Structure 1
């Protein structure tokens, strides 16, 4: 049985961590497969939006402890920096459909996604301090940006679990749905994103990430530069055509 499933349909790729009996624990095999798949998707013209989820009752329970008992406990950064780079540099929107437990390394992978939607069965936990492992895939930086430094400290210092509804209230996930509604909603969201102009979408995604990495003032200056360059490549007729489509879509929704 493959530890990772991937299927693309009409521009939307669903990538599924597939070790349900092990709560999708991140074995060396699964980490390598995930990094390889996201590297492939970065240049796959058939794939426009990616939905990342897990099979069974977990998104991912983190590093495979049984495997680590045989190989020793590495830092996550040392064991898989290519995975982090592959997901963050895929260049396409990534929706995290958090179907269940997202713990430690699994939590870190969830935080790599652009948008998080959770099942009401989702649970989040950062147990790095209990395991004696320092985060190596960005959790110490991204979690505080998502929910604030005080709440991030509480989760990371205690290792306690965060339920889905509290995660929504804290701004970690955009919304919480029943298990049956999770994937249909994420697919609908992906289709809505597909309506965007692809070049502009890529630029906006890059600008948001750039600001998070470099701070507000640097981000504002860079946005001005990118906006000016982008405007020079868009004709007034094309802009008018897009405006008409957007207004038409707005009227249909009302």
Structure 2
């Protein structure tokens, strides 16, 4: 199986999924999101896959949604399978490790948060800038890591988060300073995958649904609220201005 924007490498049941749009800072266009959704969907019942390690080529993990595509499609890219894509990643029944580096922003931050264990390099920083251009950052995704009140305060502040602070907050599980972060991540993933698969599935279902309501319903409610902001006639022009400024920062 081959993909346009992703690389796959199954290492004895540990599936390494690599974002491969380094020239675009791995921005999440429709194609790459569809590919991610497909991989997570197809592998969740595949006995040849015990878990996923999510990483990226280039110097940045992911700059978020492809804002040029958002502009070109008149916001349709924002709407494209937004619920299905996020739910497929966050409800994945097997262990997921996210390996972060460089810029991890907006939709890229949310993508990282599908990891059950998040490992980051020292020069990583995380950012949820959507509130700056009138879009609501997802609370559900971050609340799964730090709780709803802390997710809200971080969202309303709208500031970049240094990796050391992300570790203290519990967003990032481990700051890694060794030579090969992917190799280290695979060792962690192998450890998490050694248990009975039905037990892992049950534990993830409990974690996702028993403490803050149903994951699917929470995401659906958030995206229903988000839709109202897309109806703002000035939203597209705000996105355009923000896109110009953010492109300079991720270079």
Instruction: Please indicate, yes or no, whether the TM-score normalized by the shorter chain is above 0.5.
Output: yes
When residues 127 and 179 of structure 1 are mapped into structure 2, their CA distance, relative to the original with a 3 A threshold, is farther
Measured after TM superposition, the shift of residue 28 of structure 1 is 1.1
RMSD: 2.2
Q: TM-score, normalising length from structure 1?
A: 0.76
Equivalent positions of 1:145-160 (< 5 A) are: 145-149=144-148, 151-160=150-159
5+ residue gaps in structure 1? 216-254
Conserved 8 A contact 1:117-1:174 = yes
Conserved 8 A contact 2:128-2:158 = yes
Measured after TM superposition, the shift of residue 204 of structure 1 is 1.9
Aligned to 1:195: 194
Aligned to 1:38: 40
Aligned to 1:51: 53
When residues 150 and 201 of structure 1 are mapped into structure 2, their CA distance, relative to the original with a 3 A threshold, is closer
Aligned to 2:209: 210
Measured after TM superposition, the shift of residue 85 of structure 1 is 2.1
Q: What SS does the corresponding residue of 1:201 show, helix, strand or coil?
A: helix
**Greater helix content:** 1
Partners of 1:143 and 1:73 in 2: CA distance: 23
Partners of 1:55 and 1:122 in 2: CA distance: 14
Structure number, greater radius of gyration: 1
Measured after TM superposition, the shift of residue 79 of structure 1 is 4.7
Q: Do residues 108 (structure 1) and 122 (structure 2) align?
A: no
Equivalent positions of 1:38-187 (< 5 A) are: 38-74=40-76, 76=78, 79-135=81-137, 139-149=138-148, 151-178=150-177, 180-187=179-186
Q: Give the total of aligned pairs.
A: 212
Measured after TM superposition, the shift of residue 41 of structure 1 is 1.1
Conserved 8 A contact 2:70-2:77 = no
Partners of 2:210 and 2:149 in 1: CA distance: 21
Conserved 8 A contact 1:15-1:50 = yes
Partners of 1:156 and 1:163 in 2: CA distance: 15
Aligned to 1:236: none
5+ residue gaps in structure 2? 215-251
Conserved 8 A contact 1:99-1:179 = no
Partners of 1:162 and 1:156 in 2: CA distance: 11
Partners of 1:17 and 1:75 in 2: CA distance: 18
Conserved 8 A contact 1:13-1:48 = yes
When residues 16 and 65 of structure 1 are mapped into structure 2, their CA distance, relative to the original with a 3 A threshold, is same
Aligned to 1:230: none
